[in-house]
Structure 1
């Protein structure tokens, strides 16, 4: 009996030793463990911490019986059922859901129609049209809010008149200048790109044999589209819906610029206002509710996709034949050109025009100046602000933005590639599935909510980390975390396409894992690395929602500086700053595309 026990003990001991030996001798296991640990610290821990904070008294609670750190339901009761719950929670939530639903319907429809036009018809200049249609993705979404104000602002709310009032001496109604309508239309003109890319990618893979068979059987073009084409692109439509509504629900810049002047609050602007006005716990509760809303919508969307199996028929004739537009070609071309002019060209022209206006609201040529670009400080102009290229505050913010964008882009792209390698090379392992799920988690969290989460944890020491608030480190970290799902998708898409033969041959030859990865896998996955880099760089350079509550005077970014300038009533300097952001993004995108052969659609779901 004792001998059997000893033998069993030795077997168990040997098994544990073998497991430990395999773990420490296999770099994949070690890297997987480190990734899980880092993702847990960067994503899971902050979520748990902010949830705990909402059930505790804080030092800012001026309640006689409040003891900081002790358990309480006071903040939840105040937010959900208190006297201010209507203005604090329910009205902003209703506004947020209305905006999200409206933007989703409009952007999905618009993007799908444009995708069909470019991918399935014989419309000319497809390459140029395609580039111009994705150009708004490179613009900050809130930049369109600036342009909207340039055109539709009235002197009743905005102080100085917009272009329409200047030309016709009649100010647009308040509902067209601020509030629900301009917010929805502005966000739609930005987020339709997701629908265009995803639906376009799906349409380009549909076999023409399916549609031809339907036509032979007597189905009309409308019936064919309804019964064959639409069901096949439905997964892409639902994926685009998730991207659009998750972005819309958490959007901060556009609702702030077009909503706050008329006290039209959304969840994101109420989070910002609550934390900024000394009610951080209520802001954290709103963040949790916003995360739950986004997660529920994504969950039910995924359930819809999983209920059906969508497949296209492969074979030699896998490419769909183009539809001849005939007499409608000129009309379609005119509409497409007009659309890209309105959403891609006109906004930039108007933005640059306003940077040259000495006095806001005066659009005459005699009012033109370069002061807001290269002018010295003049107390009679913009309260003494010098031009952007001579303004130390703007230049410092630009430096911070570039440092954050470049650092976060490199880190996220490399992390995405390594995670993609782990996920594709060890699919059957539990750790692989866990890493995949953890890296996707930030996708569920709206940017402003993640900003609130990181604000709650960055003011104190966490484990071995020092206080990060007021450093560029926290801004880089939150950017990497938020963009990790997209960088991971780009890395995974690339790794799937790389066979394991070369790596196996190198392994047999005695090459270490690090040598195999950096000498073989990394060069072969260059396109995925550049794709992840440019996706994160674009997002980081134009990011406002994610960092607005984390910046300080020493870590101010160009986007945050722009927000402050617009709020203070200096739109010319703000727009000049936006123009710099757009210029940098477009230049880096073109350089990366040419030399890295990137495709940003792979990072947001459009790639194969």
Structure 2
């Protein structure tokens, strides 16, 4: 799932015919379309990652270190846009800002007919990528804040440091590695994002590398695989360089801490608290309430551009999606099944890999460490690149078995296992790092075999972390479109591809209706998990303390 696809992709791009040849790579970099797409990708990913890190970091500091009221609800709402598919975010904002927006027409705020949507631009792509990735950076920085020992901040306060000085001299230097990680994750996420640049960038002729790959492969078919493999190698190399730069920067900014993590400070904001709370709720309204209201209003009109009123409001689009057309229901079933199976398999794999990575034996530890490194690399590589690697591996029937995965749900599942393995591994590896090895050694001394130790001791102790990783894998895979954009086929549609195809074909009310249903399903699932998390061990639900 990791070594073979990534290796095949590298060989196809760098050694066509099995002989190393830099010619195709040099030719691709010399093409004007490739250079423009590469520059656009770097600009959009770089600018959006800086903005997302600033926004997410400020929100994390406000919620994590002050006496803001309603922190639990705010945390949930800030993270919710991260769980909404990027192309749904793009569709929602297009319908909230364009001259044909039913919501703006209802409010009498629509621009003049025929005017261009301001989001169809490089700035629009950067803005929506920033909104999409703010939840991710917030989660990373918030996790770093929760891991800080409280005694340093308390010592600074005892010596008379005010909130501003304590923040600049104590808190920010200690969370610098988390800020760097958030910046790198936002950059990689923006670099590989397909939905937002496709829906906003194509009308503005602002083409990024993932969109260029998609257009060439969908226009010319599998015959373009060698050419797009070269483009995939380029974008994969950029992502890898970003990860290496992150690790180098974190190593320089890292600070050794003593003491266990403790409850974070709750700095009193005094008279500034109402203004801080108003700013946070305004962010939630602007990034969540406004686009969702636009989606709902578009789903309720018979055609895009019709003014919403009591006479024009209709549920026909919802009826069409839920009861008439077969593709949407298949997409919901396929996404639920594929995401669920991927989450379960990766959780089990993470428990096993985490165990061997924590053992002193050299060979098992080296193998597990190699798996973790490959998983990090696969996560850093954009999903569209993973899709191309899967096509290269599974286009022909499997040896011996004679079964082809191409054109089936199996190839999408394989791509999910590759792309999201790191999400499942990280929390489990952290859980094993906190376990005392004496527990496993005592069980071995008492004669317990490997399966019994896993079932009775290690499995239960790492189950909360494995469940947390599985939840994140499921929510990520359930709503994605980037990985499956090149792998779906009739009968194997996913939620993301079904919505994208509706919007791409001009069936905007149907796309809006299915998007509303998807958002409601995601919200209900997160609320159910949040409720179950009240009785579950700490750490099972990622957004709960």
Q: TM-score, normalised by structure 1?
A: 0.81
Unaligned runs of 5+ in 1: 1-41, 58-67, 155-159, 375-385
The residue number in structure 1 matching 2:166 is: 224
The residue number in structure 1 matching 2:468 is: 531
What SS is found at the alignment partner of 2:420? helix
1:76 maps onto 2:12 in alignment: no
Unaligned runs of 5+ in 2: none
Superposed CA offset, 1:173-230 (max 9, x none): 6472302111111111121112212212222343454345445656554443222221
Q: Structure 1 pair 406/204, CA: closer, same or farther in 2 (3 Å)?
A: closer
What SS is found at the alignment partner of 2:314? coil
Shift of 1:550: 0.7
1:390 maps onto 2:349 in alignment: no
The residue number in structure 2 matching 1:200 is: 142
Superposed CA offset, 1:433-477 (max 9, x none): 323323322122111111122122221145456321011111111
Superposed CA offset, 1:1-56 (max 9, x none): xxxxxxxxxxxxxxxxxxxxxxxxxxxxxxxxxxxxxxxxx222222222332367
Q: Structure 1 pair 320/549, CA: closer, same or farther in 2 (3 Å)?
A: closer
Whether the 8 Å contact between 1:420 and 1:491 is mirrored in structure 2 is yes
Whether the 8 Å contact between 1:232 and 1:311 is mirrored in structure 2 is no
Whether the 8 Å contact between 2:176 and 2:253 is mirrored in structure 1 is no
Superposed CA offset, 1:388-423 (max 9, x none): 332112112222111111111111111112111221
Whether the 8 Å contact between 1:531 and 1:599 is mirrored in structure 2 is no
Superposed CA offset, 1:286-312 (max 9, x none): 110001011111111211111244134
**The 10-residue stretch of structure 1 (507-516 or 333-342) with the greater mean CA deviation from structure 2:** 507-516
The residue number in structure 2 matching 1:476 is: 413
The residue number in structure 2 matching 1:129 is: 74
Q: How does 1:164-563 map to 2 (within 5 A)?
A: 164=104, 167-171=108-112, 174=116, 176-214=118-156, 221-278=163-220, 279-314=224-259, 318-365=262-309, 366-374=311-319, 386-426=320-360, 428=362, 429-464=365-400, 466-563=403-500
2: CA distance between counterparts of 1:141 and 1:456? 26
Whether the 8 Å contact between 2:14 and 2:230 is mirrored in structure 1 is no
The residue number in structure 2 matching 1:152 is: 97
Whether the 8 Å contact between 2:356 and 2:368 is mirrored in structure 1 is yes
1: CA distance between counterparts of 2:83 and 2:129? 14
Give the counterpart of 2:7 among 48, 65, 71. Answer: 48
Superposed CA offset, 1:361-400 (max 9, x none): 22322211011112xxxxxxxxxxx343321121122221
**The 10-residue stretch of structure 1 (171-180 or 298-307) with the greater mean CA deviation from structure 2:** 171-180
Shift of 1:249: 0.3
2: CA distance between counterparts of 1:140 and 1:489? 22
Whether the 8 Å contact between 1:187 and 1:254 is mirrored in structure 2 is yes
- Matched residues, number: 534
Shift of 1:543: 1.0
Shift of 1:80: 2.1
Shift of 1:114: 0.7
Whether the 8 Å contact between 2:93 and 2:294 is mirrored in structure 1 is no
Whether the 8 Å contact between 1:178 and 1:262 is mirrored in structure 2 is yes
Q: Structure 1 pair 561/598, CA: closer, same or farther in 2 (3 Å)?
A: farther
Superposed CA offset, 1:230-275 (max 9, x none): 1111000011111111100000000001111222100110111122
Whether the 8 Å contact between 1:103 and 1:184 is mirrored in structure 2 is yes
Shift of 1:131: 1.3
**The 10-residue stretch of structure 1 (413-422 or 72-81) with the greater mean CA deviation from structure 2:** 72-81
What SS is found at the alignment partner of 1:492? helix
Shift of 1:539: 0.8
What SS is found at the alignment partner of 1:262? coil
Superposed CA offset, 1:66-108 (max 9, x none): xx88987663343122xxx112x11111111111111111110
Question: Larger C-alpha radius of gyration, 1 or 2?
Answer: 1
